[in-house]
Amino acid sequence: MKKTLSQKLLDFGASHGLTVVALLFLMILTIVGTIDQKYIGLYQAQKKYFDSAVAHIQIFETSTHSFYLPVPGGFTVMSVLFVNLILAFVLKFKFRWRSFGLWVSHLGFMLLLVGSFITFQYSQDGHVSIFEKEQASSFTSYHDNEMLVKSDGQDYEDIAVIPQSFLTQKKLFASPDFDIQIKIIDYYKNSDAKLRNLLTPDITQVVHLDEIDMEIEHEKNQQGVLIEVLNYKGEKVGDFSVFLNNPLEFNYRGKSYTILLRRLHMGMPFTVRLEKFVRETYPGTETPKRFESTVTVLEEGQEREVVISMNKPLRHKGFTLFQSAFATTENGQYQSTLAVVRNPAEAWPYFSCLFIFLGMVIHFIPKLFRFVKRRNKENG
């Protein structure tokens, strides 16, 4: 009996061969993605190899050209594995008690993939850096930016926030609240700005903005945007350069405008206040022994004190706050940095990995017993 093409395709999709090939690709990605971290840093390597649909692996480089081999990226490989697994479940797996362990662990693996997709898509992370006795109710992204547009009239104020995707896609920002439109000309992932020391307080201007190579530590990259400001009729008002954390201010027709590129701010449903930061080192050395932030959580008029230390985070309302870093000022005041994570699929890896592990144990233990038994039988 001859198989039709679609049957053949389905068989291929459910085959062990596809599994092995996909896993091999994942292995290659992991190796290359690990080594490349030395050169482009963890964040960029993650974007380039593991979060991507297609990864371009550099094969060799001459003085003028680089030659790349495109391979499926982490996203593609994991999607293929997911489809492969579903097809195998539908077409090949037959339930027997003997293969119960396999069922469990492969179901666990599917859960793991779904969970990581949710994390990839919906989780937020950033940090709160506060001095002692200071408080915060929002956290700042390490990597993503947003652009703030503000106009001050005589007795009112308008604010708009432009998300990063808007900037990278170089779109045109227009809103009925504003008399101006902003056209994004270019978005630099890392830039170097020459700033003018200003004598007149109402105008800030970046003299010159250059795109430069990216840093290995992604947090150190300072983005810059070239914009063209138009009036509501679409007539050009002027070209400007906006540099990270340097507000651009100008006046147009009696209104003052501020445009600020800054790290993305995300809100928390509660406020934290740093009461005390403690840092302890091993005697006679600079080797850190313990970091600890005592914070007060404020919400709806209620207060409670929590100690956050290394390996002991604060979990509250789906947000998790970890002790991440600290800094000291010249007068010895501590600033504590707490990493903030919000991940709707936080618990998924726990369950899925437990399934996978239990499945493996259920599957392999009887085999071990068979090995031991066989020996006893033949000896006795």
Partner 1 sequence: MKKSINKAHVRLGVLLLTVIVTLCLIPLENLFAEGKVNRRVQWEQLKTLPIQQGGRVMPLDSFSRILLLQLSAKSSLKVDSEKLSAVEWLAEALFDEAKAVQRPIFLIENPEIMEALQLPYKKARDRYTYEKLEPKINAIRRYAATAEQIKPEKRSLIQNQMLQLYNNLMRFEALIHTFSFWKNRSDLRFEGVQLNIKPGTNLSIADYIFLLYQRLGQIEQGASHERGEEVKINQCLKSLHETTVKSLYNGLFAIFHSGEKDKHHGWKYPWFVFYDLISENDPRHKQLSLFANIYRSYQEKNWEEVNKNLVKTHDTFVSMAKEKGEYRSIELEVKYNKYDLFYWSLILYVFATVFCCVSWLQSKNSKFFYMSALVCVVLAFSGHTIGMLLRMIIKARPPVSTLYESILFVSWVGVSMSFFLEYYAKKSKSLGLFVASLCGNILLFVANKYATEGDNFAVLVAVLDSNFWLATHVTTVTIGYSACLVAGLLGHAFIFLHLFSPGVIERYRKELTRMIYGSLCFAATVSFLGTILGGIWADQSWGRFWGWDPKENGAFLIVLWCIILLHARLGGYIREWGMALGCVFGNIIVAAAWWGVNLLSIGLHNYGFTSGLFGKLVIFTVVELAVILFGGILAYRHKTLKKKVAS
**Rounded Cα gap, residues 133 and 336, in angstroms:** 11
361 lies in the binding site for partner 1 (CB under 8 A): yes
Burial environment of residue 19 by CB neighbours within 10 A (0 to 12, 13 to 18, 19 or more): middle
322 lies in the binding site for partner 1 (CB under 8 A): yes
285 lies in the binding site for partner 1 (CB under 8 A): yes
Work out how close the CB of 335 gets to partner 1 at its nearest, in angstroms, rounded to a whole number.
17
380 lies in the binding site for partner 1 (CB under 8 A): no
Work out how close the CB of 289 gets to partner 1 at its nearest, in angstroms, rounded to a whole number.
6
Read off the tokens for 274: 């740093």
207 lies in the binding site for partner 1 (CB under 8 A): no
364 lies in the binding site for partner 1 (CB under 8 A): yes
Q: Which of residues 219-238 bind partner 1 (CB under 8 A)?
A: none
Q: Which is nearer to partner 1, 6 or 311 (CB)?
A: 311
Counting runs of H as helices and runs of E as strands, what totals does the chain give?
7, 18
**Selected range binding partner 1 among 59-67, 298-306, 325-333, 335-343, rule: CB under 8 A:** 335-343
**Rounded Cα gap, residues 59 and 131, in angstroms:** 48
251 lies in the binding site for partner 1 (CB under 8 A): no
Instruction: Determine which residue in the list 151, 246, 324, 336 makes contact with partner 1, applying CB under 8 A.
Output: 324
**Selected range binding partner 1 among 27-35, 156-164, 194-202, 262-270, rule: CB under 8 A:** 27-35
- For 285, the 3-state DSSP assignment is coil
Work out how close the CB of 302 gets to partner 1 at its nearest, in angstroms, rounded to a whole number.
25
Q: Which is nearer to partner 1, 203 or 347 (CB)?
A: 347
**Selected range binding partner 1 among 2-10, 194-202, 246-254, 286-294, rule: CB under 8 A:** 286-294
**Rounded Cα gap, residues 212 and 191, in angstroms:** 5
310 lies in the binding site for partner 1 (CB under 8 A): yes
DSSP alpha helix (H) spans, the chain = 5-13, 16-35, 37-45, 74-91, 100-122, 164-168, 348-379
**Rounded Cα gap, residues 342 and 318, in angstroms:** 6
Of 298, 172, 302, 286, the residue nearest 227 (C-alpha)? 172
Instruction: Determine which residue in the list 3, 12, 27, 198 makes contact with partner 1, applying CB under 8 A.
Output: 27
| Type and span of the H or E element at 56 | strand 54-61
Q: Which is nearer to partner 1, 14 or 259 (CB)?
A: 14
Query: Residues 207, 196: contact at Cβ < 8 Å?
Result: yes
**Rounded Cα gap, residues 229 and 232, in angstroms:** 10
Work out how close the CB of 293 gets to partner 1 at its nearest, in angstroms, rounded to a whole number.
13
- For 299, the 3-state DSSP assignment is strand
Radius of gyration of the chain (CA): 28
Instruction: Determine which residue in the list 57, 237, 266, 339 makes contact with partner 1, applying CB under 8 A.
Output: 339
**Selected range binding partner 1 among 2-10, 22-30, 179-187, 245-253, rule: CB under 8 A:** 22-30
Q: Which of residues 154-173 bind partner 1 (CB under 8 A)?
A: none
| Type and span of the H or E element at 159 | strand 157-163
CB atoms within 10 A of CB 224: 23
By CB under 8 A, name the binding residues for partner 1: 15-17, 19-20, 23-24, 26-27, 30-31, 33-35, 37-38, 42, 45-46, 50, 116, 119, 125, 281-285, 287-291, 310-311, 313, 320, 322, 324, 339-341, 343, 346, 349-350, 353, 356-357, 360-361, 364, 367-368, 371-372, 374-375, 378-379
